[in-house]
Each structure stands twice: as structure tokens, then as C-alpha cells.
Structure 1
Amino acid sequence: MYATKVSNKPVCVCFSESRGIMTSTPVTAAEYTDFKNQSSALCTDVKCVFYSVANVIIFILGIAGNSLVIWIAGFKMKKSVIATWYLSLAVSDFIMCSTLPFGVVQMVTDEWIFGLFLCKFRYFMKLINIYSSIFILVIISVDRCVLVMFPVWARNKRTVRKAAVIIMLGWIVSAALSSPETIFRDIVYKQKTKCVRKYINEQRKDINEQSHIAIVSCQFIFGFVIPFLIIVICYVLIMRKLKFNQMTMSKKPFKIMTLLIAAFLICWLPFHLFSFLKIHYKGFNFVEVLKLFGVILANANSCLNPLLYAFMGRNFKKQCYSVLSNIENVIEEEEEGREGVQGTAINTNEESISSAV
């Protein structure tokens, strides 16, 4: 069945499989509009395609990179404070990346098809992992600062158990800051099913706007401003201490620290700025595009963290090289085994042919 218009009147053209004939039936304007909406729901515009492709790439790289970090930090390396930080960060980023397919499906279909529970759960897990990932980056920065500023005290007081407790506290605070998503997220049924932030008092738009501003401000302050200031202060102290202790210091630590701060700033600042823009310029197409771009950058941080924080460490590099060398050895042994089997089969065939002759 498909719809067409004849003389400005919508007509439904139907094909009967049992009778093998086609019939035309007039349809109402509302039914024709619904049909047009359903037929145009495919992901064809540039915004949808860009968002979907970018998030699929981030999903693949993030799952692969964070899985490798989880394997190395959790199973290959001995338990240590640094390994605990990297393991928790990788778990947070892994969960964050695992929620990306929901957003891609929602963008492609322009509809939420996963039900109320996953509507609340998806945005809660997304927000909790945003906070936890940022908090863990702050913890890593503070830990590095303590190691440089107070090496003797850190050597005696830093333990894996204390690190695990700090990580648990970070996850608890993240869950508390993410709890509004479980309250305000709801399913809305209009022309299509949507998973949106729905406030308790829908009649009072002023109260709803204030609530939305409060949530966005809370995310900006606790999810960016305070963590960014702490990270910058820690790395300024680290660089001053290293410069004071080493007259001919290598430029590599400065480059790495600058790269880490720049990555954090580039990935998260657009997301929060565009969230504020969306409050005051809701419905404007350019704001929607900027917010989409900010979301992609924020998601990209989850696949950049393994490269910036984990694989820069010497122990992680050694373990990664050993893992890759082991994989290479397995592949080479498999190829040699196959060549040996093929050679044996060829020799056997030649012997059988010569004996037959």
C-alpha cells in the first residue's frame, strides 16, 4: 500500500495479493499527514547522518580502547593505586560508550522505542558516567599532584584500599547529582513516542524553566567549572615543582599536561555552553546543531581518555606492547601451523600419487 495525491486529494493505492489487483481508496488529510511523517522518518539530513556516524565511530573506539584498559588494569597489572584509577575510569567510559547506540537509534528513527524504564535508565547512566568520569580525572590529577609535592607522605599513606574507597565516594556523589534524571525523564506520546525531560508541574512554564536552568547550572558548576579549576591548579603546582627541582627539565611533561587540560576543555566546554544557549534560544536550528556538536565532543572524551591517561603511562605501554606481541605470536604460530598442515597434506598427496604410479 502507498499513498498518492490526485487532483490535490490524497488517495490510498492498495495491492491485493489474493486477487492480484490494485485498488484506490480516498484517505483523510490526517492519515495522509501521518503517512508522510512516517515515510520521512529516515535518517537523511546531514545532522542525523553526522551524529550517527560520529557516535558509531566513538562507540567502536571507546569500547575497544576501554576494554583493553580494563583487561590490562584489572587482570594483567598488579594491584596499585594508579591501576585502580585507570580501571575505574575505563569502566566509567565503557558504560558511557555502551549507551551511545540508544541515542543513535533515537536519532535515526526520531522516536524512543525502548520503553519508560530504559528512558530513565539510559539518561541516568549517561549522566552518572559523565560525572564519575570527570571526578576520576580530578582524582588522578590530585593524586599526581600529591605524588610530586609530598612524595614521602604519599609513599607511606597511599594504599589500594583507600583508593577504592575514594572511587566509591566519587560514584555515590555522581549518582546523587544524576538522580534528577530519574525524576524528570518521562515518555511523551504525541505523533511519535519521545523520551524527554518532563517536569512535575507542566502548567507553570516559569517554574519549569527555573528548574531546567537549575539542572543545567548544576551540571556546569559541578561537572565542569570546579573539576576544571582543580585540574588546572594541580598541574600548575606540578609544573612549578618540577621546574624548581630540575634546571634542565624535559619539555615532555609540559606537553602532556597541556594536552590533557586542552582535551578536557575542548570536549566539555562546548557541551555546557550550548546547553545554556538552548535555554534562551530554544527552537532555533543553529542552537540545535551546536548542541549536537557539543554532545559529540563530550562523547568523544570517553574514547580519548584511554589514549591520554592510560596509554601514556610506562607500565600501560609495556603491558600493551606485551599483549600485542602475544597476539602477534599467536597469529604467527597459527599461520605456521596451517602452513605445516598444508605441507604435510601436499607431501602425503605426492607420496600417494607416486605409489599409485
Structure 2
Amino acid sequence: MASNYTNTTHFNDTNYFGGSHAPDSVIHYTIAAAVAMGLCLIGIVGNIIVFWYLFFRIPRNKYTVYIINLAAADLLLLTFAAILMMVNINTLVGSNPDFEGNAGFYTFLEIIYDLSLYSGMYFLTAISMERCISVLFPLWYNNYRPKTLSVTMCICLWILGCSESLIENLSCTQEDFTNQTPVCTGVEIMTFTLSICICLPLMILSSFTLLIAIKKTFRNRYPPRLYIIIIAAVFIFILSVIPFNFLWFLMYFRLLPSIQDTLGLYFAGILTAALSSTANPYIYFIVGRLWKQKSSQSIHDTLHRAFKAEEDEKEEIKCEKENTSSNSGVTNSTSCDSDRTDNSHNTNTESIV
């Protein structure tokens, strides 16, 4: 999305800086690109761990299906953001600044980057809305929700993200973007509508609904960890990514004062998108360890606890209270362990593949 206008083949165009290069700006952009690459590496490690455990080691439920796909989208985004930053560093200070003969490769990088960005936004919206619906309409959700809804939604959202990325990068080239062609204008309006007018209100609405649910239940018990994860991930995404989507829309209509601001917006947009994708796995780790007395917990246990079905989490909290208040702790612990085993078996049986 951000890279349509700021193609690396034009970074060193002297017209962009009023007839001369701006050495200070080049240094700043190079530093920003290097920082973004370092952030991407940290995020790649975290998302690989999350994807591995959720896909291969932890029984799946209707929510972990979304998280697996979100981790895959974040992993793609971070990987291709790091490659884009390497290309941009070469453009700014490398030996082949014009990146000659590689325009097709750069377009490919843009397509995959935008695909992962849009898909991640849709996965966040979908999981937050599904959790919101489960709070507002619990009877319908528990009795009539299709078992394959998570898988179907993820497939459709990948297709939607891919289609949006292809349309934007192939129908609205850098030249079309500069000339504000009717097709490019339509593409920009489409992306603005999907991100700002649809996804943003849905994420805000669902987050407020979950916050109200937390407030109502917090006096009686700890809120479900999944609520905390969704709210935190949505909050970080809204603060870091959505504002730049809005600014890119304004930039298309020449409402930004100078090209320096445009280049700065480009690097800041990639940096904040990388920050959001990097933060997600560490949110899972932190929330998974929350409210646990023992600090030494494996990654498997942490992630399993973070994405445990709400019914199992209620049972665990109930067992912990019983064990704390009862003198016969051995008997209660055995009973709770038996219940957890049964719940885990049921989750495995109803897992969405």
C-alpha cells in the first residue's frame, strides 16, 4: 500500500528534493530502515514460535485457527518488510541505487507485503467480531455457529487480502498514483473504505463490547485471557497502522506539504506495521503468564493457557479457587486435573483442521 508511490527507482530523483539530495534525510531514512530490519527479526522469531506451537503442538479451537493465520500473516509481513528495507538501504546508500532491471521483483515484494498487511487486519477484525458476537448472542453462538466457520472465514479473508493487494499494485502503479488516474482513485477509495470505514469501526465496537464484558465479570473472576489478547492486539494495530492508512489516503490527494514528508511517511508506515506484527506474539506470551503464581512456565503451557477455550478457563479458575480454599488440596487437584483432561479431549475432538 505505502510503497506504490515511493518506488525505490525514484528515491534518488533530484526533483524529489528540490534539485539536490538531502544528506540528513538520507541518513535518517537509512537509520529508520535499519531499525525496522532489527524489529522485523525480533518479530519473525516470535511469530515462528507461535505458529509452530499452535499449528503442531497445541489442540486447535475456533480461536486458535484465527491466531495461526494471523501469525502467518505477521510472519509474511515482517519477512518482506525486512527485504523491502534492505532494498531501500541499497537505494539510499548502495552501489545500485536505481535497482535497475528489478522493478518486477520490487512489485512482487509490494504485493506480498500488502497481502500480509491487509489479511492481518482482516483476521484481527474477524476474531474480535466473533468474540463480540459470542458475548452479545451467547445462545445463538453456542448452538448455531457452524463448526467450520473459522476455516471458511480465514480462506475468504486470505482471498480478499490477496485480491486487494493485486488490484492496488497492478492497477495503480507509481505513475498512475502520481497522475491520479480514475482507476487509481477508485482503488484508493476502495482501500480507504475497507480499512477506515469498515474494519476500524468494527474493531472499535468489538473492543468496547469486550471491555464492558470484562468490567461486568471482573468482580467475580479474572477476565478470559483471550479478551485481553484481542483488545491489546487491536489497540496496538489501531494506534500503529490505521493512522498511516488514513495519511496515505490524504497524501494521494496532495494534502501533504512536501516529498520529504511523503518519504518519512513511507518509512514510518513500514516501521509501525512491523511494530504491530512484532508485538502480537509477545502479547500472547505475556497474557499467557498472567495471574499465574509460578513464574517458570514453558512456552507450550503459556500459549495453551493464553488461547484456552473460555469453558476450560472457567473450570481452571474454579479449580484454583477450590484448591486455595480447601484443606484437602490433593483430592481437589485430582478432580480438576481429571476435568481438564476431559475438556482437552473434547477440544481435540471438535478441533477445526
User: Into which bin does the TM-score normalised by the smaller protein fall?
Assistant: 0.5 to 0.7
| 8 Å contact kept, 2:111–2:165 | yes
| 8 Å contact kept, 1:132–1:174 | yes
1:288 matched to 2:275: no
Match of 2:331 in 1: none
Q: Distance in 2 between matches of 1:116 and 1:151?
A: 51
Q: CA deviation at 1:180?
A: 1.9
| 8 Å contact kept, 2:53–2:300 | no
SS of residue matched to 1:99: helix
Structure 1 residue runs of 5 or longer lacking an equivalent are: 1-32, 34-39, 186-195, 326-357
Match of 1:46 in 2: 27
Match of 1:199 in 2: 176
Match of 2:328 in 1: none
Q: Distance in 2 between matches of 1:323 and 1:289?
A: 38
Match of 2:198 in 1: 226
Q: CA deviation at 1:217?
A: 3.0
SS of residue matched to 2:281: helix
| 8 Å contact kept, 1:79–1:160 | no
Aligned counterpart for 1:102 among listed residues 73, 79, 83: 83
Higher strand share: 1
Q: Distance in 2 between matches of 1:103 and 1:41?
A: 21
Q: Distance in 2 between matches of 1:258 and 1:92?
A: 19
Match of 1:177 in 2: 164
**CA spacing shift, 1:239–1:53, aligned 2, 3 Å:** same
| 8 Å contact kept, 1:142–1:234 | yes
| 8 Å contact kept, 1:86–1:309 | no
1:307 matched to 2:282: yes
Q: Distance in 2 between matches of 1:59 and 1:121?
A: 19
1:297 matched to 2:272: yes
User: Scaled by the length of structure 1, what TM-score is found?
Assistant: 0.64
Once the two structures are overlaid, the 10-residue window that deviates more, 169-178 or 127-136, is 169-178
Deviations, residues 134-182 of structure 1 (Å, cap 9, x unaligned): 0000111012213323334433445653211110011111122112245
| 8 Å contact kept, 1:81–1:159 | no
Amino acid at match of 2:67: Y
After TM superposition, the structure 1 = structure 2 runs for residues 1-357 of structure 1, keeping only pairs within 5 Å, are: 45-110=26-91, 111-112=98-99, 115-158=102-145, 161-184=148-171, 197-199=174-176, 205=179, 208=181, 210-244=182-216, 259-279=232-252, 280=254, 281=256, 283-308=258-283, 312-313=287-288, 321-323=297-299
Q: CA deviation at 1:70?
A: 0.6
Amino acid at match of 1:227: C
| 8 Å contact kept, 2:233–2:280 | no
Q: Distance in 2 between matches of 1:291 and 1:115?
A: 20
SS of residue matched to 1:321: coil
| 8 Å contact kept, 2:214–2:223 | no
Q: Distance in 1 between matches of 2:217 and 2:223?
A: 14
Q: Distance in 2 between matches of 1:255 and 1:272?
A: 25
Q: Which has the larger radius of gyration?
A: 1
Q: CA deviation at 1:80?
A: 1.3
Q: Distance in 2 between matches of 1:134 and 1:85?
A: 11
SS of residue matched to 2:59: coil
Identity between Structure 1 and Structure 2 (%): 19
User: Scaled by the length of structure 2, what TM-score is found?
Assistant: 0.64
**CA spacing shift, 1:288–1:182, aligned 2, 3 Å:** closer
| 8 Å contact kept, 2:50–2:281 | yes
Q: Distance in 2 between matches of 1:114 and 1:307?
A: 39
